[in-house]
Amino acid sequence: MQSWKHWRLERDADNLAWLYFDKSHAEQSESTNTFSSEALRELADICAQLKTNAPKGLAILSAKENGFAAGADIDEFTTLKSAEEAYAFTKLGNDVFDQVEALPFPTLAMIHGFCMGGGTELSLACRYRLMDDGPKTKMALPEVMIGIVPGWGGAKRMPRLIGALQALDLMLSGRGVDARKAKRMGLVDVVTPRRHFMNAARLLLLQPPAPHRPGFKDALSNAPLIRDIVAGISRRQVAKKVRKDQYPAPYAIIDLWQKFGGDPRNVPHDDPTSIVSLFKHPTAGNLIRIFKLQDRLKSLGAGESGIKHVHVIGAGVMGGDIAAWCALRGLSVTLQDLDHARVAPAIKRAADLYQRRLKQPHLIQAALDRLMPDVKGDGVAHCDLVIEAIVENAEIKKKLYAQIEPRLKPGAILATNTSSIPLQELSGGLARPERLVGIHFFNPVAQMMLVEVVQGAATAAEVMKAAQAFVKKIDKLPLPVKSAPGFLVNRILTPYMTEAQVMLEEGIAAETIDAAARDFGMPMGPIELADTVGLDVGLAVGKELAKPGGPQPRKIQELVAAKKFGKKSGEGFYKWVAGKPQKTKTAAAVDLAPLWMRMTLPAVNEAVACVREGIVADADLCDAGVIFGTGFAPHRGGPLNYLRSAGKEKLLAEMKVLEAKHGARFAADPGWAGI
Ligand code: NAI
């Protein structure tokens, strides 16, 4: 056996070489494999050595439990000092993976767990790929999500292997595929359970079959004329979703493949497709920061929650979906409501979710078995955590707590999903108020990554910690916040939504307002968003969080009184047909910037206030919460990052003008002084 800092090479009696990737840092093993330039250079040395003393075949596998490799070392990538260094890092990865591809014997990547970015690109440089069929195994090229391109050969090799249509779909979405899908696409050669890995690898290397070749249609998609047509179609599809000035990376991926053979070394540095240009663009920096903030949120859920059985009370929109999600993530769940008829729709929705997510009948059945209807509430006495998601009424909630608290196990936690009632108001009658915590999910539960973990004045630190670990365990992002009206996310979103409705009442068309917000970079305009969330829900939150003397939009009240709740009832601010808003007017041909400035500044101002009041620990976590809780223009990196990059003085001047025109709601919070 031979060892390097990040790799281990073994040869067996059949003269097969087994190369283990085992990333370490300062002599300590890390939990995840990532490619630093040091790890890449070592791989180059290993290739050179194997070339002179060739084995019969080489298998590359991971020594880490969690996966093959997570891609480039993001810490190294983010500390690169110049765009030229970014190019050098890109070139190094390409040169080394080219060396792997050129090895004169069969090579195989053995993929388990996550295989992302550079991990996928290394596997594509091998002649064969073997993949584990476990539920946690996923392969992806997610570079687009951090504003760059798959620059270590992914954009060159993947279209060749599986055709441009499938490859562009994966590269432009960043989506991961499991083993079954990867096999169907031609991305991997063999799929087996991991326990059969060694035998399957040995067989492939000792009796190597012909390497995978794409089918006729897939091969044709790379041919010169067809390539231009495919690129044109892809560009039009991307343009429907994002703008080139805001998100250059998907456009660069298409260009890189169409014009430069997928190889960034062929791209002139001053071309907008080049790594140098992308690295200099603020979007990449902001998206990488968000990616790191996501890791920070995950780290806030470190440790064991000790929660195995969750009892959810209230099987409505939220409770039903929270219960379904917890069971999907492997917990035992009991679900209580006033009668069977109210639980049944939640179970039906859960079955649909499992069908979409799990696909295999035995996995769907197992998830459904973990989700148990429990109208009598027997689960209360056995569970580790109760999540209450009944109507938003403090008196009714307190009455329920009085009934269930005496029946809880001594260590059990009581959590509320309330979106607006301060915890201190709910904990009044409790014998052990220190065990009450807010676990505030966002709607729709299956899609929204963020969960606010709300600390009341009495909530014990260990209960916060366990609640955060629970949120992480169910694969959501925990954000600890202090209990104050609206917590963090709704409090920041409300003034933005309210201002949009005030503008609507002034006569600006809904279509124009929504277009302005999208121009800023919001994934959906505020009027369409209000209809999507439900005007009844929005009105209740808006009333709860309205500032004294602040605007109280009338139109939403009239619509709710007329039972026009938006998307769910078929009409709200818009009419909805087949799940789509009917935007009848075209957005006015006006400068949209003043409109989005007017809507977004109240949100920025509120974010400043939240940090000043300590609702959230710091500005970075505030940005993370708003992005993952609302989708706030990701390329701008959150409201406070936007404030810093646009310039504090410039925005304060805008606020002054708006204050003079529209009143005190645009007065700058005292917290601006400390930004
Ligand atoms: P919902 O009205 O859809 O569901 C509430 C359910 O609780 C109903 O099925 C009702 O029968 C049941 N219920 C009422 N009293 C009960 C009792 N004593 N015992 C057992 N079940 C009882 O309400 P939704 O929208 O799911 O909201 C629930 C909670 O989640 C509220 O506190 C709300 O503020 C919060 N929330 C709502 C969000 C939303 O977008 N709808 C988002 C985040 C939080």
pLDDT in tens, 593-644: 999 999 999 999 999 999 999 999 999 999 999 999 999 999 999 999 999 9
Residue 245 has pLDDT above 70, yes or no: yes
CB 145, CB 242: distance < 8 Å: no
Predicted confidence band of residue 385 (pLDDT cuts 50, 70, 90): very high
| Whole-model pTM over 0.85 | yes
pLDDT at 586: 77
For residue range 420-435, what is the model confidence (pLDDT) as tens digits? 889 999 999 999 999 9
pLDDT at 28: 67
Q: Where are the beta strands (DSSP E) in 120-179?
A: 128-132, 138-140
For residue range 343-373, what is the model confidence (pLDDT) as tens digits? 999 999 999 999 999 888 999 999 999 999 9
Q: State how far the Cα of 469 lies from the Cα of 459, in Å rounded to an integer.
A: 15
Residue 379 has pLDDT above 70, yes or no: yes
Q: State how far the Cα of 366 lies from the Cα of 170, in Å rounded to an integer.
A: 30
24 is an active site residue: no
pLDDT at 525: 96
Q: State how far the Cα of 50 lies from the Cα of 163, in Å rounded to an integer.
A: 31
Q: What single string gives the DSSP state of each residue in 413-461?
A: EEEE--SSS-HHHHSTT-S-GGGEEEEEE-SSTTT--EEEEEE-SS--H
**Residue of 347, 391, 426 to test ligand 1 pocket, by largest number of atoms within 8 Å of CB:** 391
419 is an active site residue: yes
pLDDT at 84: 87
pLDDT at 27: 63
pLDDT at 235: 98
* Catalytic entry in 440, 483, 571, 606: 440
pLDDT at 360: 86
199 is an active site residue: no
CB 588, CB 509: distance < 8 Å: yes
Q: What is the mean pLDDT of residues 97-121?
A: 98
- Own/partner contacts of 388-391, CB < 8 Å, gap of 24 or more, are 388/313, 388/314, 388/414, 388/415, 388/416, 388/417, 389/312, 389/313, 389/314, 389/316, 389/318, 389/319, 389/322, 389/416, 389/417, 390/313, 390/314, 390/316, 390/319, 391/314
CB 311, CB 336: distance < 8 Å: yes
Q: What is the mean pLDDT of residues 561-578?
A: 96
* Catalytic entry in 490, 511, 605, 635: 490
Percentage of the chain surpassing pLDDT 90? 91
State in Å: Cα 181 to ligand 1 middle: 37
Stretch (H or E) spanning 265: none
pLDDT at 44: 98
The rounded mean pLDDT for the chain is 95
Stretch (H or E) spanning 3: strand 2-3
Torsion over CA: 426, 432, 434, 440 (sign): negative
CB 567, CB 507: distance < 8 Å: no
For residue range 497-545, what is the model confidence (pLDDT) as tens digits? 999 999 999 999 999 999 999 999 999 999 999 999 899 989 988 988 8
Q: What is the mean pLDDT of residues 406-419?
A: 96
State in Å: Cα 387 to ligand 1 middle: 11
State in Å: Cα 421 to ligand 1 middle: 13
β partners of residue 109: 60, 129
From the CB of 438, is ligand 1 less than 6 Å away? no
From the CB of 391, is ligand 1 less than 6 Å away? yes
pLDDT at 26: 65
